[in-house]
Structure 1
Amino acid sequence: MNFNKILFLLFISFYLCGTKLHAQVYHEIGLITDNDLYVSIYLDEYYTNGLELFYKKVSNTNYQFFDKKIRQFSIGQNIYNPQESDITIVYLQERPYAGYLYFNYSEQLINPKHILKLGASTGVTNTKSGAEAAQNFIHTFYNIEPSEGWETQVKEKYAIGLFANYTRNLFYKEDFPFAVSWTNKATLNSIFTNISSGLTLRYNFLKTILAPISNSSFFGTALQTNQESWIKESFFGIKSFATYQIQDYTITGDLDKNLSQKEFHLEPWTWQNDFGFYWNLKHINFSYHIIFKTRTAKEMKTKITRYGSIQFSYKF
């Protein structure tokens, strides 16, 4: 059974369990799917596919500074390959073939001006990530030839570590058409270690109420406690941030077969811009994104890569 089928079964299981709960709409299950085919049928490069299934639950907190807490469990898979997905000779590759299967647990502590997210993660690379099987499944679905270079992928390595995100509201008025926030991220494990900082902007183009950061699908906080009301959202959002890469084993890790002894090197600084359209309905959140990112490895000839992301969740 491949990883996509496992995620689908888990998604159905969460849904069936959720239908037995009380009428309180305090839970959310969702799916995030990334793929460069979402922006062009000709792209199949670098970060070529991502898939994540998550479950969230909201509750009140006993902390004086924060009003509510959202717990989240996530399982996902990232797939990486060179600019072409069938390069078997390492010497000709611009970045290695790599897969990463992970599980995350996090808690968001939230008030109308601040969001603090703390979490732990574990994961694995190589064949246990299921990346080769998942990519060939996707290629079969789109009638594309299977990838031939996976015998050179990065070697198996396990990850365990921590991550933290902090967001602060900089400008927000409920009846104003846009809002600005400052966001920061840090990840520390044996696969990925990096820090990021940047700005986010929301623009309300349909003249609906712009929700605070504590109750918006833009920040993953659109679950309500007894003290909150649901706010319908439809807006355009930008997330722009710079990242300093300290470690990325999917780029610099040892390879299964590397006769040329080629080495890959991190590009220390990257810049990512996420342009998305968001809809928050009573029981459904949906968003579509186009994401541009500068190259992550110095060997990559393409200075800016792009891919699409579709995010869907059901609240119950």
Structure 2
Amino acid sequence: MAAQTDFTQRLAALAARVEAALADAIDGSAGGRAPARLIAAMRHGALGGGKRLRPFLVIESAALFGAGEATAMRAALALECIHCYSLVHDDLPAMDDDMERRGRPTVHVAYDEATAILAGDGLLTLAFGILAESDGLSASARLALVSRLASDAGTAGMVGGQALDLSAEGVAELPEAEIVSMQAMKTGALIAFAAEAGAILAEAPAEDRRRLREFGEVIGLAFQLADDLLDETAEAAALGKAAGKDRRRGKKTLPALHGIDWTRRRLAELVDEAEALLAPYGAKADTLREAARFVANRRS
């Protein structure tokens, strides 16, 4: 319990630093030339909450190979911009039609649909500007980060997964393998990037990149499983968004397919798999091990 408390405190402290850096990046994104309402909408969609787990994974995976927070922060910010843009767009009426996010009105509710679309566009393009301007990285590391993030955020990753998720809503049944593949793209790809990014930043050997990416893929699946389990079991006040909406919309999830007890057993198995992948790094990987446990056992 003490270790988990230490982890949550460390996560919260980093989240505060990421929040401040993200606010600066958004405010400075257009040198004062962007419409104030658009910047306000971008801030609404990106700031004011969130665990900042993906930036945490970037920074902690980089630390595993000796790269400091200052070196990793801009890659962490770029990834968080991508994640936040995806939430702004996912909440739109044409997508998941959500009215609340992180206990506040979603961007299209607080502003309007057109502004929400543009705010998401702004966060997406800001991400790649942040990566391109990352000081302290070699050109090859920057290029590798840009290439990998574009792939994981695009049609072979998050965007493609969202398209599959939407198309599956009208399907009576979906095989487990297709659900897993869809979720690996929609949710897992960015978490896999977060873990692999640290090895890229540190220019670690290819085997380390492969191992950290696999670790990210495993906890990415655990993250989605835990998210789907929370949608089935948690109260809206704890989630900061509507509960039970996935089942009502006919979304295909593994908890809906196999039940709650199976899901909890599978989460425990995924934690074991994640820890096994980190075994070669010994105590240096303890924080990443705690991250795997946190992802599987979270309550919001």
TM-score bracket relative to the smaller structure: under 0.3
TM-score w.r.t. length of structure 1: 0.26
Work out which structure has the larger RCO, using CA pairs closer than 8 Å and 6 or more positions apart in sequence.
Answer: 2
Normalized per residue, the structure richer in strand is 1
Larger radius of gyration: 1
Which structure dedicates a bigger proportion of its chain to helix?
2
